Structure 1
Amino acid sequence: MDNIDQTILSELQKNSKISMKDLAEIVHLSSPAVIERVRKLEDNHTIEGYHASVSLQKLDRNIMALILFESKDCKALASFCHNHPDVLECYRVAGEISYIAKVATHSVESLEIFIDEAMEYGSPSTNIVLSSHVKKVISSYTDEI
């Protein structure tokens, strides 16, 4: 992956709806060359998809929580989280806890219902998100750290 591919990825993360013509101008290549590079990035799964960023507040999901689980049954908890409409993300982690679920729900009451239902699969520890100060896209790709 060269600097042009890195710039293409950075620009697509900022605006996945950018025209190939505008992207070509940014990276100083022809539109067909940029289209071919984007296709290769899609084919090798560097680009996994294109998504809309949706306002949770507009969907009346004003309560965000990170719930840490000491799981009794990892597969059952993962399945529960996968199928629950309030779970945005669920991570299997190493350490004292086994899972972290990111939940966006309508109310404290619906959060309580989620926690009650999840207790069958493990011991939860709930952390309500007050605000978010960092939300990034990857803007620099490098082999060096």
Structure 2
Amino acid sequence: MLRLDDRDIQILKVLSAEGRISKADLARRVNLSPSPCWERLKRLEEAGVIAGYHAEVSLKKVAPHVVVFVAAELESHRSENFQAFERAVQRHEEIVACWALGGGFDYLLQIVARDIDSYQRLIDQLLESNLGLARYFTYIVTKPVKSGNAMPFETLMPDIGIPKNVTSDKEK
């Protein structure tokens, strides 16, 4: 793990909420001059701490859709079964996120489909692919309550003194 100090965490906190902030504004917000801030940012990117920059798209303004979470359990728990399932997940654009789980279910999938019929066609494809899908439970999202990419750095790293005056514009 890369060793991070409070300034690195400040940079990450601002960027996790506002990926498009200019470098000059970022430097000002974390109380650094632009050159040292840019050096830190490059170091964080090169170390893979910053994995990418993304836009948060309001899908309801773009296209009709349904968001579905699926808890999936495989029949067999051999390594090759997990690998086959994970490869299949990668091939489907509608599966926007997938997490391997410990405990009752093996995977949690987040699916964004045009409608319930499109979702069901995807599930049918997965079932017909002989991936060893034993059971699945469908949870349809009725409304978003909280979402976003801002990370709870103060909770995760309480020993790093993050000044409370370093906030994103979204938090104001």
TM-score normalised by length of structure 1: 0.89
Alignment counterpart, residue 138 of structure 1, candidates 151, 168, 171: 151
| Corresponding position of 1:2 | 5
Kindly indicate whether residue 106 of structure 2 is the aligned counterpart of residue 103 of structure 1: no
- Say which structure, 1 or 2, has more relative contact order (CA 8 Å, 6+ apart): 2
The alpha carbon displacement at 1:59 in A equals 4.0
Secondary structure of the corresponding residue to residue 153 of structure 2: coil
The alpha carbon displacement at 1:51 in A equals 1.3
Kindly indicate whether residue 97 of structure 2 is the aligned counterpart of residue 94 of structure 1: no
Secondary structure of the corresponding residue to residue 119 of structure 1: helix
- 8 Å CA contact 1:88–1:103 kept in 2: the answer is yes
Q: Distance in 2 between matches of 1:59 and 1:83?
A: 23
TM-score normalised by length of structure 2: 0.76
Give matches, 1:66-85, under 5 Å.
Answer: 66-72=69-75, 73-85=81-93
Q: Say what the alpha-carbon RMSD is for the aligned residues.
A: 1.7
Alignment counterpart, residue 141 of structure 2, candidates 111, 116, 129: 129
The alpha carbon displacement at 1:58 in A equals 3.5
| Corresponding position of 2:49 | 46
The alpha carbon displacement at 1:74 in A equals 2.1
The alpha carbon displacement at 1:143 in A equals 5.3
* 1:91 alignment partner AA: W
Structure 1: which 5+ residue stretches go unaligned?
none
Secondary structure of the corresponding residue to residue 86 of structure 2: helix
Judge which range, 21-30 or 31-40, deviates more: 21-30
The alpha carbon displacement at 1:29 in A equals 1.4
* 1:42 alignment partner AA: E
Deviations 1:118-144 (A, max 9, x none): 224302211111122122411425155
Runs of 4+ in structure 1 displaced over 3 angstroms?
none
| Corresponding position of 1:60 | 63
| Corresponding position of 2:170 | none
Q: Distance in 1 between matches of 2:114 and 2:72?
A: 21
| Corresponding position of 1:35 | 38
Q: Distance in 2 between matches of 1:67 and 1:59?
A: 24
